[in-house]
Every structure is written in structure tokens, then in C-alpha cells.
RNA sequence: GCCGGAGUGGCGAAAUGGCAGACGCUACGGUCUUAAAAACCGUUGGGGGCAACCCCGUACGGGUUCGAGUCCCGUCUCCGGCACCA
């Protein structure tokens, strides 16, 4: 694949042309925002990356998509904002710092420099004057300002929260750092839940708006919106107050004689009532989506962490309860929420009073009830909830049917599972006979009305969304700009003292609290009001805070007076097109929407949604070739001579063996590719399926070397053509060769004619009017065309302009490029037959360069220089198709008999229905398939087909 | 378990309800070359036929329609998200 000739060949795409154009674009500021003041705006944005250093071609995909769109809108005459920055705070820098004993800052800025140079080499163009780096004080200053804004608005608060605690390393762990057995990834110690004071953002206050406004986002992928809806997890129901019973209550029991009675008869509940004492002052609030089943609540379950557990536990149960609480504290989230686990729980020796019938019901604790959802307490209705049913069976608790399944009588003893479906209410006092359901006149609404009338509960809405825990006991992040005063109160660092600069420290290892706590000089401050000794908050912010508003900072990145000016935000926001990975479908996008709404409520941004359109691109994958031995031990037995060159037929059996063994590990057996010059493969390797390009998989192709050898334009075509951009795509050598061939063919077609094309163009030069939306029109030439071949090429050109335009705007880059390939094929044929440069061919050449501009920008600019000699192609305007030219004079119409294609005829395009019908019914081939049968019906679709039904 | 999405050649994929497989890759045959590579030309869903052509074919089973890859119902498989969420 490497060319041995040193001189660039004029009939091939030469990557050596690229650096010149990159420098030209940079110098001329072609892609800087604000270049066309009066033109309409576009804000195109790729999710900013964590600066990981050298980029590989997999990283490039995201940027290539954004770059293609940017170039498309620039050539169409828009004023485009296409900025870039770095999500530079975060754990990897800290881990590297711990490992290499160098400041995270140094490591981070080195990586930024490397990544930036990769982007430059690839010719991905940004307005670098707006670069944003989140670890720079002039950025995180505004992060701190934002924190204080939320604090002042009551949206930032401090509360205790359960976190994963590694008792060996004395540190807090993220959920992802705890394995399935609940052990720390680093120390291997059993992780505990520990309660710590943490900072939260009150995102739940925006839950309803975050949910409802999803409907406004018509240009977001449906699945992302669904994921956000699920995450917010709205459910409607009721909050019901269960008073706690005093002493002297008897447990709810099933009466022996009642067990075989049909519960469907609407009898009095077959239970005995205890002697109910007046309730003590404690009330347990319960959230339920099925308040109509209250009459079937036969016990209550609290989360082990529920605050009332300690208080309510009977003295004789205390030891047992405390043991259970301690045990569940040690369990990981994964263990605890495993659905296959058997139900466990402990009776705490206390009773609650069911408010609908004053029955005492026992209170249990169980880990299947989560403190984090609803109120951390449930009423258990075993007949109609599967979890409660399992719990009741496990511990012999009573089950009472209150929803009668339609058309069958049910004995609760025979139930094998709960009945969570519709039916008719029974055993439910005032609700008896009401249909079970959520609609008007149905049980849930009736139950809520009943509760509200009596002050025993109220209809309510519950969200699964939790408040956002933003404090981290970490070094490499934005310091939380708060001061803890002597009296225990907390106050913001005065605004004029911002930023609170992250101090330099030596030891980044967390030790139970933030590493910042060790920076005594930094921590100790004077109380801004009293001058008394006070201490800074030593936690840093979650990096998701940094990334929840960076797109706003781009609109006014140099502003050191405010976070951004309202005018700048109004000019550019919302982002017209946001591009990034699906992995951010929930957290980042939800947080960014939340912060934008907060700023909107402050009157700082013009729109309460940040991203008008969202595109989630697929990843770049590549197969990994590894020595056989490293895949599976059994492959080692593969005879040595077979791992070298082999005689296939003779050794087929062994090879088959190896192949089967490899398949078990999802690998394929392949002969090593021939080394250059050598004949055939000289050994065998195991080849994995396509896996995402990454440093850890070792299958990334570095951007720099690739671009120097093949060219950025080749990389772009590979990535954009191989598959629709939302799909994962496999990077292969064959794909690279195909892209190269495509560009070579373009150069091969136009290069020899460049002077003639430039000369031919003189008379009817394309108009260039950048501010015009539609671009330049192809029409001027149309009327002068006489030859059929010329007319056909002109039609194909217009057809292609239309397709490339529409496909580009709708992210179908693969089909846009396919259309360009197809037109190229036709044009090569045309040029060979014409034998000279005709006006239509020259027009095509000029136009083709423009159509190529979003996808192979360097070559497009080179072609433009050949043909037009001056200026950038991005100021030359985008071609508009000539709609009239798309109409063919003669078209092919398909003839069908009973829906099967039986022939085709060429007819004038204007032929009307009657004519088409006539031609079809007299067509020989059609007649032969009719075979004299009577014609029942003839369907004519003008311009398309005629279907004869017999 | 719940909620989504997707199943089309050897592969990546195309196809406003109207000629299934555009475009590309691979493979095979050919031209050029001492040879190879590159480039160029041709073939490439399956089956049948000397041929003109014919039959079958978009996961599976039904349905709607003159006509279904596309719409509807059911089944299977795969992928993704959530998951003891009361």
C-alpha cells in the first residue's frame, strides 16, 4: 500500500496537499464564529472529551461528523459556531498523579497538547479562540459562581448520605469501583455503607419540567428520551399515614374458620381485631401507587435504614433487628437488589394501624424496601404485589384478596403468585364492587378521594429521580466555594474572592476525607464577616457539574466579568446540533438540561432547553489479532508445524479442531497477512470479533501516523461511508483501500483536465453568494444542452446535488457519499465517451468539488484551487439543484400482472393514465401472462407502473 | 420481570406501500506486466434452462392491499436501557 515513488503522482490523491490547506483555513479564520455577522447562525457542538492524550481514529468519528456538518453550513453561508474544549478534571489525572508522583495539572495539560495536535493534523477545524478548559481557574471560577447561585436559590444543600466506604483505604468509592461481591476494586476489602455529610443539587425540584419538556425535543433520538423518562421515573399514587399502635395490640391473624370461605363474597374481612390502643405520636408515611388495595394491607415493611426503626423496635427484638440492620449495611447494592435472592426480614415487635379499618398490622424491616425511593416504608399487600406475596409466604403472614380477578373465584391459599392485574374490588368496605383501575370512577381515584376526605392520606406523585450528589472527596476538581464557620454554620466565599484556587499538594491519596483537608494553609481562613478562624469546604465538585454548562461558556469564553453575557447566549443558544455518544444519554444530558433551566429561570439564557437537536453516533471497532497461545490454553497444543506454514488438505482436521476451540472463545482462526514482499501468510493468528477501539484493547490506530500516510480525507471517508453514523462501524484495511480508491478516482478524473475545466468555466461561472441560503444555482447552463449524453449527465448532477444536500442535513453521510461515488462512475464513463472537456463536464467538476467539501475537505479545496484559482471553497456557496432538470423526458414504466413484474416499457414522461393502460394491455409480454383470462382491474401509477389484475 | 430497538447477499449496507440488494468490500475471471502490486474491464442472493427466460428469496406464522422488506396481529432471536422503584 505504500508508494515507492517519491514524486507525488498527479493521478492519485496525495495526502501531502493537506497541511497547506489546514494552515490556510486557520490563517484565514474560515471556521471562526462571527465571520458572517448578518448571516443566520448555527451552533454545532461535539461533546467535549476528557483529554486522554494521543487520539486514535476511533476518537475521530465524533469530530469528523461535527466537522462535516460545520463545513456544510459554512459553505452554505451560515455563521457557524463550532468550538472545542476539555473536560479536564477527573479521576484519571489523579490516578496518574498517584502513579507517577507528578501533579495532575502537568499530566492533564500534556494530554491536552497531544490531543489538540492530533485534531490539528486531522484538519478538524474549531474556533480555538473560544477554547474552554475546565481545570483552568478562569473556568472553574464560574463553576463556583454557579454553585453559589444554586445555593442562594436553595437548590444546593448539605445532607447526610450513605456512601460506599472502603475501611482499608479509608476512602469513599464510586458504585462502579465496587464489585459484585461488594469488595473494593483496590483493596479487596468488604465495602461498608457509611453516612457522610454531602452536597446535593436539588434536581428533583425540576423533575416535572425535565420530564414534560422532553416532548419539546423533537430532534432528539426517541430512545434517549425514553431513557430519561425511565430515569425520572414518575409514578402517581398516594401517600398514606399509618399511625403506630400503642401497646396491647394483637397481631392480625387469619381466623381458622374463615380460611376456606370465599373472599369474593364481600363478607366482613375474616380477621380478628385486636384491642386497639390510641396511636402514639409516631406516624409512618407510606407511598403507594395502589391506595385502592389498602384494605388488603396485612403488614408493613420499613427499609433497614428507616429513621423510626431504632425508636419503634421492641426491647426483646432489639438484638435481632440490629443484627439485620448491620448485615444489610454490608451488602452491596447489587447483592441487595438481586431479584433472585430469597426474601429476608425481621419483625421489629411493633404494630401500625391500617387507617382504613383500624386493624393493627405488624411492622417488619426488610432489605427489599429501599430507603431511597418513596418514603422508605411500604404497606404490604401480598395478594396483589409479587414481592409482598413472596415475603408473606416466607414468613407465614396473612394474605387477603381485595381485587377479585374477573371470572374466577380464588382461594388465597391456592395462590401461587400475586394478582397485580385488574378486577373488581372486594373485602374493601366502601370500595366493594368498584372496578379496579386508575381511570375516572375506578378504584384508585375513589380510594384517594376517600383518604383525602378523612385526612388519612393524599394523592401524590413520586419520582425515581434522586437529588444529585455533587461532592467528591477528591483533589482534582473544582473546590466547593464554601466556608464552615466556628458556630457550625456555612457561608459562601464572597464572590469577589472567587475563584477559590485549587492548592498545590503532594499527596493525592484520599484518606477518609478529601486530600485537600491536608492543605492546612489553604483550609484555614478568616471568617469573611467576623474574622474568626474558619475552614474551607474541602470537597470538590463532581465533574458532571463542569460539563453541565460548558456549552454556554463557549458563547462568551473570554468574559471575565460574568459567567457569560446574556447577549452572547442569546445570539447562539440553544445548540442547534449536539453530537456525542449514547453513554451520556442520561446523566450528562439530564444535568445539562437541569442547569440550563436554572439559568433560564435566572433570566440568563433565552431558552430552557440547551440542545435543540441531538445525535448519538456509534463507535469505531476493529478486530484484534493475537497469537494463538494467548487466546486459550488448549490452543497451545496446536502443533507447532501448523502454526507455521501448512499444507491445508493434509492438516485440515487439526485446523478444524483449532477453529472450533477458538470459536468457543469468540475468536476466528486466520492466516497471518503476508508481510510485504513475502509470499503467503507464514503463520496462524487468532482474530477477535470487532471490539471498540481503545487503549486497553490495543486496537486503536493513532491519528498522526495514519493521516500522514493516507490523509485525513481518507480517514473521513472510511468513517462516514462504512455505515450510517449512528451505527457502530468496523475499521478495516479494505475500507481504507476503498476510500483511497474513491479519492484517487476523483483526482484521476479531474486532474488531467484542470486547465480545460478552469477555462471552460469562464463564460458561466457559478455565482457565489455566501449569505444566500439555497446556494448557487446550476440552472444557467441547462438551456444550451442539446446532446442526450449532456442532458443525462446534467440530470444526474442535479439529482446528486439534491440527494447529497438532503442526506447531509439528515445525517445520512453514507448514502450521500454513495451518491457521489455513483455520479463519479457515470462521469468517468461520460468523459471517456466525450473525449474532451464539455461545458456540462466542467460545470460538474466545479459542482463536484463543492459537494465533496463536507466529507473530503482538503481535496475539495484543492479541486477548487485548480478550477477557480482563488478564494476558499467554503466561501463559494453550495449548489442548488435545478428541479426542472430532474424531470426525465422518457421514463421506464414497470408492467405488472397480478403484482409480479412482467415487463418494462419506455414511455414519454407526460404519458397519462389512459395511454399507460392502453400500452400495458397491448404489451406482448403482458398479454402472454394474461393468457386470455378476463382483466378484472388495472392499477395505473403514472410515472411508475401499471398493474394488470386478472 | 418492565420499557425500547433491530432481524435484508459471503460482509458493511440501500430501498416516499410500487423493479429488493443502490454504493462499497470480499471472491472469481480477464486486460496490461518478465512477474507481482496498482490500475482498468467483467461476474458475484439461491435454484433451473443451450437460450429467450422461469421459479424461489428481506427471521418465522398469519392478516390488510391490485401490490408488503416497508402497515397490522402473533411467535422466535439478538441488542440496548431500567430493574425488589412499592
Whose C1' is closest to the CA of A748: which nucleotide? B39
CA of A405 to C1' of B74 (A): 25
- Average pLDDT rounded to a whole number, residues A357-385: 93
pLDDT over 70 (residue A104):
yes
CA of A423 to C1' of B86 (A): 20
pLDDT over 50 (residue A2):
no
Q: Measured between alpha carbons, how far is A861 from A935 in angstroms, rounded to an integer?
A: 60
**Number of alpha carbons in the 13 Å side-chain half-sphere of residue A352:** 30
CA of A436 to C1' of B22 (A): 55
Which of A71-75, A650-654, A942-946 tops mean pLDDT?
A71-75
Residues 6+ apart with CB under 8 A from A930: A897, A948, A950
Query: Measuring CA to CA, how many Å separate A282 from each of A150, A277, A278, A460, A612?
Result: 34, 13, 11, 21, 49
Whose C1' is closest to the CA of A940: which nucleotide? B66
- Average pLDDT rounded to a whole number, residues A82-106: 90
Reported as a single tens digit per residue, the pLDDT across A690-707 is 889 988 888 999 999 999
pLDDT of residue A769: 45
CA of A399 to C1' of B84 (A): 19
Reported as a pLDDT band with limits 50, 70 and 90, residue A766 is very low
Residue of least CA–C1' distance to B36: A677
- What the block records as the C-alpha cell of A497 is 474572592
Beta strands in A141-191 (DSSP E): 156-166, 171-173
pLDDT of residue A259: 36
Residue of least CA–C1' distance to B65: A899
Residue A138 burial by Cβ neighbours in a 10 Å radius (0-12, 13-18, 19+): middle
Q: How many CB atoms lie within 10 A of CB A872?
A: 17
φ/ψ of A698, rounded to 5, equals 70, 20
CA of A325 to C1' of B10 (A): 60
- Average pLDDT rounded to a whole number, residues A490-511: 90
pLDDT of residue A486: 93
Reported as a single tens digit per residue, the pLDDT across A210-233 is 999 999 999 999 899 999 999 999
CA of A319 to C1' of B46 (A): 74
- Average pLDDT rounded to a whole number, residues A603-620: 95
Reported as a single tens digit per residue, the pLDDT across A674-684 is 443 333 344 66
Q: How many residues can be counted in chain A?
A: 950
φ/ψ of A482, rounded to 5, equals -130, 155
- Average pLDDT rounded to a whole number, residues A452-458: 94
CA of A667 to C1' of B82 (A): 31
- Average pLDDT rounded to a whole number, residues A495-521: 88
Closest CA to A739 of A677, A790, A814: A814
pLDDT of residue A65: 97
- What the block records as the C-alpha cell of A546 is 463542569
Whose C1' is closest to the CA of A289: which nucleotide? B86
Q: Is the reported ipTM for this assembly greater than 0.85?
A: yes
CB A54 within 8 A of CB A114: yes
Residue of least CA–C1' distance to B2: A230
- Average pLDDT rounded to a whole number, residues A100-109: 91
* C-beta pairs of A177-180 under 8 Å, 24+ apart in sequence: A178/A332, A178/A333, A178/A334, A179/A332, A180/A332, A180/A334, A180/A335
CA of A422 to C1' of B24 (A): 55
Closest CA to A634 of A609, A663, A612: A663
Q: Measured between alpha carbons, how far is A464 from A161 in angstroms, rounded to an integer?
A: 17
Which of the residue ranges A96-105, A132-141, A560-569, A926-935 would you say has the lowest mean pLDDT? A926-935
pLDDT of residue A638: 53
CA of A936 to C1' of B17 (A): 21
CA of A181 to C1' of B29 (A): 61
Closest CA to A467 of A229, A158, A174, A211: A158
pLDDT of residue A421: 83
Whose C1' is closest to the CA of A228: which nucleotide? B81
CA of A901 to C1' of B51 (A): 21
Q: Measured between alpha carbons, how far is A363 from A122 in angstroms, rounded to an integer?
A: 66
CA of A824 to C1' of B17 (A): 31
Whose C1' is closest to the CA of A742: which nucleotide? B24
Residues 6+ apart with CB under 8 A from A700: A56, A57, A58, A622, A693, A694
CA of A712 to C1' of B14 (A): 26
Which of the residue ranges A3-12, A687-696, A832-841, A918-927 would you say has the lowest mean pLDDT? A3-12
CB A295 within 8 A of CB A431: yes
Beta strands in A711-801 (DSSP E): 729-730, 776-777
Strand A359-365 and strand A346-354: the pairing is antiparallel
Residues 6+ apart with CB under 8 A from A804: A816, A819, A820, A851
**Number of alpha carbons in the 13 Å side-chain half-sphere of residue A433:** 3
Mutual orientation of helices A813-834 and A839-852 as an angle, nearest 10°? Answer: 160
Residue A145 burial by Cβ neighbours in a 10 Å radius (0-12, 13-18, 19+): middle
CA of A727 to C1' of B69 (A): 20
pLDDT over 70 (residue A87):
yes
Whose C1' is closest to the CA of A899: which nucleotide? B67
Question: Is pLDDT larger for residue A763 or for residue A161?
Answer: A161
Reported as a single tens digit per residue, the pLDDT across A227-271 is 999 999 999 999 999 999 875 454 444 433 333 333 333 333 333
Reported as a pLDDT band with limits 50, 70 and 90, residue A771 is very low
Of all residues in chain A, the percent with pLDDT exceeding 90 is 59
CA A429, chain centre distance (Å):
49
CB A572 within 8 A of CB A217: no
Measured torsion, CA atoms of residues A290, A295, A301, A306, in degrees rounded to the nearest 10 = 70
φ/ψ of A412, rounded to 5, equals -60, -25
pLDDT of residue A141: 97
Average pLDDT value for chain A: 85
Residue of least CA–C1' distance to B6: A727
CA of A936 to C1' of B65 (A): 15
Whose C1' is closest to the CA of A941: which nucleotide? B18
Question: Which pTM was predicted?
Answer: 0.90
Q: Measured between alpha carbons, how far is A97 from A106 in angstroms, rounded to an integer?
A: 9
SS3 at position A238: strand
pLDDT of residue A641: 52
Strand A890-897 and strand A945-949: the pairing is parallel
Whose C1' is closest to the CA of A341: which nucleotide? B84
Residues 6+ apart with CB under 8 A from A635: A628, A629, A658, A661, A662, A686
Q: Measured between alpha carbons, how far is A303 from A286 in angstroms, rounded to an integer?
A: 11
pLDDT over 60 (residue A855):
yes
CA A26, chain centre distance (Å):
32
Reported as a single tens digit per residue, the pLDDT across A316-343 is 999 999 999 988 877 655 566 555 568 8
- Positive or negative torsion for Cα A677, A680, A686, A690: positive
pLDDT over 50 (residue A41):
yes
- Average pLDDT rounded to a whole number, residues A775-797: 79
pLDDT of residue A640: 54
CA of A878 to C1' of B6 (A): 36
Residues 6+ apart with CB under 8 A from A247: A277
pLDDT over 90 (residue A200):
yes
CA of A734 to C1' of B27 (A): 13
φ/ψ of A845, rounded to 5, equals -60, -50
Whose C1' is closest to the CA of A826: which nucleotide? B23
CB A886 within 8 A of CB A773: no
CA of A375 to C1' of B50 (A): 84
Whose C1' is closest to the CA of A368: which nucleotide? B84
Whose C1' is closest to the CA of A832: which nucleotide? B40
Query: How open is the CA angle A888-A891-A896, to the nearest 5 degrees?
Result: 155
- What the block records as the C-alpha cell of A868 is 477557480
CA of A944 to C1' of B16 (A): 13
- What the block records as the C-alpha cell of A323 is 443484627
Whose C1' is closest to the CA of A724: which nucleotide? B13
DSSP-derived secondary structure letter, A219: B
CB A844 within 8 A of CB A827: yes
Which of strand B's nucleotides are less than 7 A from any protein C-beta?
Answer: 3-5, 12-16, 18-20, 22-26, 38-41, 54-55, 66-68, 80-86
Residues 6+ apart with CB under 8 A from A652: none
Q: Measured between alpha carbons, how far is A335 from A337 in angstroms, rounded to an integer?
A: 6
Which of the residue ranges A131-135, A513-517, A610-614, A810-814 would you say has the lowest mean pLDDT? A513-517
Whose C1' is closest to the CA of A465: which nucleotide? B85
Which of the residue ranges A20-34, A164-178, A582-596, A614-628 would you say has the lowest mean pLDDT? A164-178
Question: Is pLDDT larger for residue A9 or for residue A302?
Answer: A302
pLDDT over 80 (residue A549):
yes
- What the block records as the C-alpha cell of A423 is 378486577
Whose C1' is closest to the CA of A340: which nucleotide? B84
Whose C1' is closest to the CA of A463: which nucleotide? B85
pLDDT of residue A340: 57
CA of A799 to C1' of B40 (A): 27
Residues 6+ apart with CB under 8 A from A754: A866, A867
Whose C1' is closest to the CA of A902: which nucleotide? B19
CA of A731 to C1' of B45 (A): 25
Task: Give me the residues paired with residue A311 across strands.
Answer: none
Strand A482-484 and strand A377-380: the pairing is unpaired
- Average pLDDT rounded to a whole number, residues A721-729: 94
User: Per-residue DSSP letters for A373-396?
Assistant: STTSEEEE-TTT-HHHHHHHHHHT
pLDDT of residue A277: 47
Task: Give me the residues paired with residue A581 across strands.
Answer: A617
Amino acid at each position: 500500500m505504500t508508494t515507492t515513488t517519491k514524486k507525488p503522482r498527479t493521478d492519485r490523491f496525495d495526502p501531502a496537499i493537506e497541511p497547506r490547506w489546514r494552515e490556510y483555513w486557520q490563517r484565514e479564520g474560515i471556521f471562526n464564529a462571527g465571520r458572517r455577522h448578518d448571516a443566520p447562525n448555527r451552533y454545532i457542538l461535539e461533546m467535549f472529551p476528557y483529554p486522554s492524550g494521543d487520539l486514535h481514529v476511533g476518537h475521530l468519528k465524533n469530530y469528523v461528523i461535527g466537522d462535516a456538518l460545520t463545513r456544510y453550513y459554512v459553505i452554505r453561508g451560515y455563521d457557524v459556531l463550532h468550538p472545542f474544549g476539555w473536560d479536564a478534571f477527573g479521576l484519571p489525572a489523579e490516578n496518574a498523579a498517584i502513579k507517577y508522583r507528578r501533579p495532575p495539572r502537568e499530566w492533564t495539560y500534556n494530554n491536552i497538547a497531544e490531543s489538540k495536535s492530533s485534531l490539528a493534523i486531522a484538519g478538524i477545524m474549531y474556533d480555538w479562540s473560544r477554547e474552554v478548559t475546565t481545570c483552568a481557574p478562569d473556568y472553574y471560577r464560574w463553576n463556583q459562581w454557579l454553585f453559589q447561585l444554586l445555593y442562594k436559590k436553595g437548590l444546593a444543600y448539605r445532607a447526610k448520605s450513605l456512601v460506599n466506604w472502603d475501611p482499608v483505604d479509608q476512602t469513599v468509592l464510586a458504585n462502579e469501583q465496587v464489585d459484585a461481591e461488594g469488595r473494593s476494586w483496590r483493596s479487596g476489602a468488604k465495602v461498608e455503607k457509611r453516612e457522610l455529610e454531602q452536597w446535593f443539587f436539588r434536581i428533583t425540584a425540576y423533575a416535572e419540567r425535565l420530564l414534560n419538556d422532553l416532548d419539546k425535543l423533537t430532534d432528539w433520538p426517541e430512545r434517549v428520551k425514553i431513557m430519561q423518562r425511565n430515569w425520572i421515573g414518575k409514578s402517581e399514587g398516594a401517600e398514606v399515614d399509618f399511625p403506630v399502635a400503642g401497646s396491647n395490640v394483637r397481631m392480625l391473624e387469619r381466623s381458622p374458620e374463615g380460611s376456606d370461605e370465599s373472599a369474593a363474597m364481600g363478607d366482613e374481612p375474616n380477621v380478628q381485631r385486636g384491642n386497639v390502643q390510641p396511636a402514639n405520636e409516631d406516624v409512618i408515611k407510606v407511598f403507594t401507587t395502589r391506595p385502592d388495595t389498602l384494605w388488603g394491607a396485612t403488614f408493613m415493611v420499613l427499609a433497614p435504614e428507616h429513621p423510626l426503626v431504632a425508636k419503634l423496635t421492641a426491647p426483646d427484638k432489639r438484638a435481632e433487628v440490629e443484627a439485620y440492620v448491620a448485615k444489610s449495611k454490608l451488602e452491596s447494592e447489587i447483592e441487595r437488589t438481586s431479584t433472585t435472592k430469597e426474601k429476608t426480614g425481621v419483625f421489629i415487635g411493633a404494630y401500625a394501624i391500617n387507617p382504613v379499618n383500624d386493624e393493627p398490622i405488624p411492622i417488619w424491616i426488610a432489605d427489599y424496601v429501599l430507603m431511597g425511593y418513596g418514603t422508605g416504608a411500604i404497606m404490604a399487600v401480598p395478594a396483589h404485589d409479587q414481592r409482598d406475596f413472596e415475603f408473606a409466604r416466607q414468613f407465614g403472614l396473612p394474605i387477603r384478596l381485595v381485587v377479585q380477578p374477573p371470572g374466577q373465584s380464588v382461594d388465597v391459599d391456592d395462590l401461587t403468585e400475586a394478582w397485580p392485574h385488574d378486577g373488581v374490588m372486594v373485602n374493601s368496605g366502601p370500595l366493594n364492587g368498584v372496578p379496579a383501575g386508575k381511570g375516572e370512577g375506578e378504584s384508585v381515584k375513589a380510594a384517594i378521594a376517600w383518604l383525602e376526605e378523612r385526612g388519612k392520606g393524599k394523592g401524590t406523585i413520586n419520582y425515581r429521580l434522586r437529588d444529585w450528589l455533587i461532592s467528591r472527596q477528591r483533589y482534582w476538581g473544582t473546590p466547593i466555594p464554601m466556608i464552615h464557620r466556628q458556630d457550625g454554620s456555612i457561608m459562601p466565599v464572597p464572590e469577589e474572592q472567587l475563584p477559590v484556587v485549587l492548592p498545590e499538594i503532594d499527596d493525592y491519596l484520599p484518606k477518609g476525607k478529601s486530600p485537600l483537608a491536608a492543605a492546612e494553609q489553604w483550609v484555614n481562613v478568616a471568617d469573611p464577616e467576623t474574622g474568626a478562624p474558619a475552614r474551607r469546604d474541602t470537597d470538590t465538585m463532581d465533574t458532571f457539574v463542569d460539563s453541565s454548562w460548558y456549552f454556554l461558556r463557549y458563547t462568551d469564553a473570554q468574559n471575565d466579568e460574568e459567567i457569560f453575557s446574556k447577549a452572547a447566549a442569546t445570539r447562539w443558544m440553544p445548540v442547534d446540533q449536539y453530537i456525542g455518544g449514547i453513554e451520556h444519554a442520561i446523566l450528562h444530558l439530564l444535568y445539562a438540561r437541569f442547569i440550563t433551566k436554572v439559568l433560564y429561570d435566572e433570566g440568563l439564557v433565552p431558552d430552557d432547553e440547551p440542545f435543540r437537536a441531538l445525535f448519538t453516533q456509534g463507535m469505531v471497532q476493529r478486530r484484534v489479532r493475537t497469537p494463538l497461545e494467548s487466546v486459550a490454553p488448549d490452543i497451545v497444543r496446536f502443533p507447532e508445524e501448523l502454526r507455521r506454514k501448512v499444507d491445508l488438505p493434509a492438516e485440515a482436521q487439526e485446523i478444524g479442531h483449532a477453529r472450533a476451540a477458538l470459536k468457543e472463545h469468540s475468536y476466528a482462526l486466520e492466516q497471518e497477512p503476508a508481510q510485504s514482499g513475502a509470499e503467503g501468510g507464514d503463520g496462524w493468528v487468532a482474530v477477535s470479533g470487532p471490539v471498540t477501539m481503545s487503549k486497553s484493547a490495543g486496537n486503536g490506530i493513532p491519528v498522526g501516523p495514519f493521516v500522514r500516510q493516507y490523509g485525513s480525507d481518507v480517514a473521513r471517508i472510511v468513517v462516514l461511508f462504512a455505515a450510517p453514523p449512528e451505527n457502530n462501524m468496523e475499521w478495516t484495511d479494505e475500507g481504507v483501500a476503498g476510500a483511497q480508491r474513491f479519492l484517487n478516482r476523483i483526482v484521476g478524473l479531474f486532474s488531467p483536465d484542470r486547465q480545460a475545466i478552469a477555462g471552460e468555466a469562464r463564460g458561466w461561472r457559478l455565482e457565489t453568494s455566501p449569505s444566500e441560503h439555497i446556494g448557487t444555482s446550476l440552472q444557467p447552463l441547462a438551456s444550451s444542452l442539446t446532446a442526450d449524453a449532456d442532458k443525462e449527465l446534467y440530470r444526474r448532477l442535479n439529482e446528486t446535488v439534491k440527494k447529497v444536500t438532503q442526506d447531509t442535513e439528515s445525517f445520512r453521510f453514507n448514502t450521500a457519499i454513495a451518491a457521489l461515488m455513483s455520479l463519479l462512475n457515470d462521469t468517468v464513463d461520460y468523459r471517456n465517451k466525450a473525449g474532451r472537456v464539455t461545458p456540462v463536464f466542467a460545470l460538474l467538476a466545479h459542482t463536484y468539488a463543492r459537494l465533496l467539501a463536507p466529507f473530503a475537505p482538503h481535496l475539495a479545496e484543492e479541486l477548487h484551487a485548480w478550477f477557480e484559482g482563488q478564494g476558499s471553497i467554503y466561501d463559494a456557496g453550495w449548489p442548488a439543484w435545478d428541479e426542472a432538470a430532474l424531470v426525465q423526458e422518457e421514463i421506464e414504466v414497470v408492467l405488472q400482472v397480478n403484482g409480479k413484474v412482467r415487463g418494462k416499457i419506455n414511455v414519454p414522461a407526460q404519458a397519462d393514465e389512459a395511454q399507460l393502460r392502453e400500452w400495458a394491455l397491448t404489451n406482448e409480454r403482458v398479454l402472454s401472462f394474461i393468457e386470455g383470462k378476463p382483466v378484472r382491474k388495472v392499477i395505473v401509477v403514472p410515472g411508475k407502473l401499471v398493474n394488470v389484475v386478472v
